[in-house]
Amino acid sequence: MIEFRGVRKEFPDGTVAVESVDLIVPPHETTVLVGSSGSGKTTLLRMVNRMVDPTAGQVRIDDVDVSTLDAVTLRRSIGYVMQNSGLLPHRKVVDNIATVPVLRGESKSAARARALELMDTVGLDRSLADRYPTQLSGGQQQRVGVARGLAVDPNILLMDEPFGAVDPIVRTELQDELLRLQRELGKTVIFVTHDIDEAFRLGDRVVILREGGRIVQTGTPAEILAAPADEFVAEFIGADRGRRELHVAEIDGRRLAVDGDGRPVGVLAP
């Protein structure tokens, strides 16, 4: 379990990215932090592995205050996947995946063998192992990023808009892959996005943030959809525009579900 207790972050230039956050992130689930740009999502995420230290309050992992842990050791024990994959351009795919295990003292051959297994895990063909990141598609690069995040077999995986830079079809594929992986691995995942549809698709729990890291609602997607906490949430999730309201339309004897704009979203089972 990860716990944010009265966490605040004020940067040296006076910007208050996070005013005061209390949040419990349950283990073995995906918790999605969603909010518009500048709502403090990345700052909160980076406090877990001490890439950012809070100005006040505590982040606790399994009841240990992370500020009492060595920052480098902590960082290398937690998976981190970022937008644009963050791969090292001059290293082959297999070596990118093996980077942190080697830094932690694993032999190069063992780390490479495990990296190849991880390529299978994230759905990458092993024939890509000796390529350089620029020789891969955007979606493949993101898969390498996920494999690298999993390379130290972390209990915690932090994902910062990992699928933000790929086209919608690849994005859906990567989301499907993450859902499959998570069913198998059951990591404690914190996933940051500004896309509410992605949040509802991936999150066991969704945390909706406003500026200053203000939490406006936490719940399962169903709870949030059924009862948006306020007008901001209703607008954010599209409930106010009727986007989330589905109606039944009958066409050629089939019953279709259509959204607020009249667009078909599915067929009702007979």
Q: Which is nearer to ligand ATP, 11 or 180 (CB)?
A: 11
Which residues face 59 on adjacent strands? 4
- 40 is an interface residue for ligand ATP by CB under 6 A: yes
Nearer to ligand ATP, 35 or 139 (CB): 35
Both tokens of 153, joined, read 């077999």
With a CB cutoff of 8 Å and minimum separation 6, the contacts of 245 are: 239, 259, 260
Separation of alpha carbons 41 and 223, rounded Å: 21
- Residue from 2, 7, 30, 41 touching ligand ATP (CB under 6 A): that is 41
194 binds ligand ATP, rule: CB under 6 A: yes
Q: Is 171 in the site for ligand ATP (CB under 6 A)?
A: no
Choosing from 30, 31, 43, 140, the residue that interacts with ligand ATP (CB under 6 A) is 43
Distances (CA, A) of 29 to 118, 161, 179, 181, 257: 21, 17, 11, 12, 30
Binding mask 5-34 for ligand ATP (x = CB under 6 A): ------x-x-x-x-----------------
Q: Which of 35, 54, 162, 221 touches ligand ATP by CB under 6 A? A: 35
CB of 213 to ligand ATP, least distance (A): 7
Shortest Cβ 80–ligand ATP spacing (Å):
14
Q: Name 4's Cβ contacts closer than 8 Å, sequence gap at least 6.
A: 21, 22, 23, 24, 25, 44, 47, 57, 58, 59
> Rounded to the nearest 5 degrees, what angle is found at the Cα of 26, between the Cα atoms of 24 and 29?
135
Of 35-43, 140-148, 179-187, 216-224, the window that binds ligand ATP (rule: CB under 6 A) is 35-43
Question: Contacts for 94-99 with beta carbons within 8 Å, 24 or more apart?
Answer: 94/119, 94/129, 94/130, 96/133, 96/144, 96/148, 97/144, 97/147, 97/148, 97/151, 98/151, 99/148, 99/151
Residue with Cβ nearer ligand ATP (40 or 149): 40
Which residue lies nearer to ligand ATP by CB, 48 or 181? Answer: 48
53 binds ligand ATP (CB under 6 A): no
Nearer to ligand ATP, 35 or 149 (CB): 35
Residues contacting residue 223 through CB under 8 Å, at least 6 positions apart: none
Among 3, 38, 173, 225, binds ligand ATP (CB under 6 A): 38
Identify which of residues 8 and 131 has a Cβ nearer to ligand ATP in the complex. 8
| Listed residue (213, 164, 193) closest to 39, CA to CA | 213
Question: CB-wise, 12 or 105, nearer to ligand ATP?
Answer: 12
Binding of residue 137 to ligand ATP (CB under 6 A): no
Q: Which tokens belong to 27?
A: 């283990």
Which residues lie near ligand ATP (CB under 6 A)? 11, 13, 15, 17, 35, 37-43, 194
